[in-house]
Structure 1
Amino acid sequence: MRSVGVEEELLLVDSRTGEPRALSAAVLAAASRDPQSDDEVFESELQRQQLEFATRPQTGMGELGDEIRRWRKEAARHAEGLNASIAALATSPLPVSPTIGTGERHQWLKEHFGLTAQEQLTCGCHVHVSVESDEEGVAVLDRIRPWLPVLLAMSTNSPFWQGEESGYSSYRNRVWGRWPSAGPVEIFGSADRYHEQVAEMVASGVLRDEGMIYFDARLSHSYPTVEIRVADVCLDPSTTVLLATLARGLVETAARQWRDGEPPARHGVALLRLAAWRAARSGLEDELIHPVTMRPAPAEAVVRALFDHVRDALEESGDVLPAQEALAELLKNGTGSRVQRDLFAQTGNLREVVAECVRRTCA
C-alpha cells in the first residue's frame, strides 16, 4: 500500500486579538527546548507569521489523522507560552502586514519578487504519496491533472483577505497563483521530459532552484513521492485526512491506468486554469467544471465523480467507508470557507471568526 504524508502550514495569531504575529522563530526555539517534543517536525515558512509541520509517511489513514491532530496540539502548546495560538486558516481574516523571514533564501525571494513575495501570507496543505519511480510519478502527474481542482474545491478555507470578503472560497489559490511557476501544467509524457522542463525553468534565472517549482502537483525533490500542492490548509483535520485518502486513490488509479496503457486526458492548460478558477471561486457552494467533460456541473456531482473514479483503489486500501462518511460530513457541514462565512454572518466580527477557528483547529 502506498504511504502518505501531509505537510500543513498554520497561521500564528495573537491569543487575545486574533491578529497574525511574527513568532515562528520563537515557537521553533520553544520546540527545540522541549525534551518531550520532536522539534524536527516543525519548520519556518516564508512569512514569520507561519509555522509548518510534516507528518511521517503513513499507510493507515487513522494513524495519519492521529498524527495531524498531535502536531497541531503540539504547535498550539508551544505557541501558548508566547501568548499566541495556531489557526488552520489559509489566509488571515484580519488585516496583516506580513514579515518575511531573515534567511538568505527568503530575502532573495523578497528582492526578486517584490509584492508577490511580501503579500504571500497563505497557508496550504501538501499531500505526499509514494511512487515506485520517477517514470511512474510523471505518468501519475499526467493523469491526475483534471482532478486537482476538485481537491481544491473540497479544501477551500480562505474567503477573507485583509479584513475584506474576497468573493472567493479560496483566495489563497488566487494569491498563490501570482508565482510564475504555480498552477496546472502540460502533459509531460516521460520522466526525462519532466526533468528537462524543470531544468529549463531553473536555467531561465527566474527561479532560484527546483524548490521553486510550484506546480499544482510535482515530483518531490526530497522524497520518492508525488506531491499534491493544490489544497488550502483545512480547518477540520478530518477534511485533511479525506483529501489525503482521495489523493492516494488518485495516484493509485493513475498508476494503474498507465500500466494498462490508458493515455491521459488531453485537456489543455487553459481549460485546467479555468477549472481551478471555478473551484477557487465556488468551493462546494456552486457549480464546478467536471474533470471528464470540462463542462459545468453541480459541485456535489463532481465530488461524487471523483469518489467513483478512485473507488476501486479505496476498496483495496479499506478506505471506502471512512471516506464516504467524511465526504457526507463535508457536503453537509461545508468547507472551512462556509464555516468562516457563517461565523461572520452570526457575529459580524472577524476577531470572533478567528477565535472560533483557533478552537476548531485543535478540537
Structure 2
Amino acid sequence: MRTVGVEEELLLVDPETGEPRALSAAVLARVSLGDAGQDVFEKELHEQMLEFATHPQADMERLHAEIVRCREEAGRHAGEIGCAVAALATSPLPVTPSIGVNRRYEWMADQYGVVVQEQLVLGCHVHVSVESDEEGVAVIDRVRPWLPVLTALSANSPFWQGRDSSYSSYRSRVWQRWPSAGPTELFGSAETYHRRVADMLATGTILDDGMIYFDVRLSQRYPTVEFRVADVCLDAGTAVVVAALARALVDTAAREWREGGEPAAHSVSLLRLAAWRAARSGLTEELLHPATMRRMPAETVVRALLDHVGEALAADGDLDRVREGVAALLRHGNGARVQRELLERTGSLRDVVTECVRRTQAA
C-alpha cells in the first residue's frame, strides 16, 4: 500500500482580534526548546505562517491522528507566546504580510515584487509514494483532469483583505501569479519531465527546483508525487479525505499506465478553465466534468471522481471513510461555505476567525 504524507500551512492569529500575527520565528523558537516536533514544524515565506509535515502513513486513521496531534502541538506552542493557529487558506481580516528573514525569500521578494508581498496563502500538500520517476510522471499525466475536484472539496478561502472575494478558493487564484504555477501539458516520460524542469531553470526566471510549482510534481526530497492544489482544510477530517483521494488517484493512474491506457489529452487551456471554475464555485454550483470538460453540477462531478477511484479506495480500505466524508461535505459544505455561514450568523470576521481557531484543533 502506498504511503501518504501531508503538509499543512497554518495561519498565526491574535486570539482576541483574529488578526494575523508575524510570530512564526518565535513559535519555532519555542519548538526548538523541546525534543519533540523539531522535524515536524518549518518556517514559510511569511512570518504569519507555520508549516508542519506528517510522517508517511499507510493507514488513514493514523494519518488523521497525526494531523490532529500536529495541529494541537502548533496551537500549544503558539499559545505560549500569546497567539493561536487557524486552518484558513487566506486571512479573512486585512493583513500586510511580513516576509521571513532568509536569502532565498529575499531573492524572491526582489524578483517578484508585489506577488511575494501579497502571497499570504496557505495550502495543503499531499505526498503519495511512487516506485520511480517514470511511474510518477505517468501519474502526473493521468491525474490532471481530476485535480480541480480536489480544489473544490478543500476550498477554504472565500475572504481576501476583509472582503468576500466571490470565490470559494481564492487562495488558488492568488497562487497562479507565480510564473511556474498551474496545470502542465503531457510529459510522456520522466526524461521529458526533467528536461522541462532544466529548461525552466535555465531561463533564470525561477531560482531553484523548489519553485517548480506545478499542480502535481515530483518531490525534490522524497520518492513521491506531490499534489499542491488543495487549500489547507478547516477540518482535519477533510484533509484526510483529500489525502485518501490523492492516493486513490495515484493508484488508479499507475494501473492505467501499466495496462497501456493513454492519458486524457485535455489542453492546458481547458485545464486552467476547470481550475478557475473549481476555485469560483467550490461545491455550491457547477464544475467542469473531467471527461467532457463541460459544466455539470458539482455533486455530479464529485460522484464521477468517486466512481473513477472507487476500486482503488476499496483496495486501500478507504472507501467508507471517503464516501462518508464526501457526503458530509456535500451536505454541510466545505470550509468556504462554513466561513460564509459564520459571517452571516455573527456579522463579524473576527468571530469567523475565532470559531475557525476552535475548529482547527477539534478532532
TM category, shorter: over 0.9
Task: Determine the structure 2 residue equivalent to 1:232.
Answer: 231
- Cα deviation, 1:200-225, whole Å, max 9, x if unaligned, reads 00110000001000000000011000
Quote the Cα distance in structure 1 between the aligned partners of 2:37 and 2:116: 30
- Cα deviation, 1:216-245, whole Å, max 9, x if unaligned, reads 000001100000000000000100000000
Write the letter of the residue equivalent to 1:159: P
Quote the Cα distance in structure 2 between the aligned partners of 1:38 and 1:236: 21
Task: Determine the structure 1 residue equivalent to 2:290.
Answer: 291
Task: Determine the structure 1 residue equivalent to 2:84.
Answer: 85
Alignment gaps of 5+ in structure 2: none
SS at match of 2:105: helix
Write the letter of the residue equivalent to 1:139: A
Write out aligned runs for 1:120-135 (5 A): 120-135=119-134
Task: Determine the structure 2 residue equivalent to 1:163.
Answer: 162
Task: Determine the structure 1 residue equivalent to 2:10.
Answer: 10
Quote the Cα distance in structure 2 between the aligned partners of 1:22 and 1:34: 22
SS at match of 2:77: helix
Write the letter of the residue equivalent to 1:80: G
Task: Determine the structure 2 residue equivalent to 1:248.
Answer: 247
How far does residue 279 in structure 1 lie from its aligned partner after superposition?
Answer: 0.2
How far does residue 125 in structure 1 lie from its aligned partner after superposition?
Answer: 0.3
TM-score, normalised to structure 2, is 0.99
Write the letter of the residue equivalent to 1:61: M
How far does residue 34 in structure 1 lie from its aligned partner after superposition?
Answer: 2.3
SS at match of 1:38: coil
Quote the Cα distance in structure 2 between the aligned partners of 1:38 and 1:129: 22
Task: Determine the structure 2 residue equivalent to 1:33.
Answer: 33
Write the letter of the residue equivalent to 1:38: G
How far does residue 252 in structure 1 lie from its aligned partner after superposition?
Answer: 0.4
- Cα deviation, 1:77-122, whole Å, max 9, x if unaligned, reads 0000111000000000000000000110111110000000010000
Quote the Cα distance in structure 1 between the aligned partners of 2:85 and 2:109: 25
Write the letter of the residue equivalent to 2:295: P
Quote the Cα distance in structure 1 between the aligned partners of 2:323 and 2:278: 21
* Paired residues, number: 362
Write the letter of the residue equivalent to 2:14: D
List structure 1 segments (4+ residues) > 2 angstroms apart after TM superposition.
none
Write out aligned runs for 1:210-225 (5 A): 210-225=209-224
Write out aligned runs for 1:133-144 (5 A): 133-144=132-143
Task: Determine the structure 2 residue equivalent to 1:306.
Answer: 305
Quote the Cα distance in structure 2 between the aligned partners of 1:149 and 1:321: 22
Write the letter of the residue equivalent to 2:228: R
Task: Determine the structure 1 residue equivalent to 2:335.
Answer: 336
Quote the Cα distance in structure 2 between the aligned partners of 1:38 and 1:163: 33
Quote the Cα distance in structure 1 between the aligned partners of 2:314 and 2:158: 34
Task: Identify the range of structure 1 (319-328 vs 124-133) with the bigger mean alpha-carbon deviation.
Answer: 319-328
Quote the Cα distance in structure 1 between the aligned partners of 2:258 and 2:250: 12
How far does residue 318 in structure 1 lie from its aligned partner after superposition?
Answer: 1.0
How far does residue 323 in structure 1 lie from its aligned partner after superposition?
Answer: 1.1
Quote the Cα distance in structure 2 between the aligned partners of 1:245 and 1:82: 35
Aligned-pair Cα RMSD in Å: 0.5
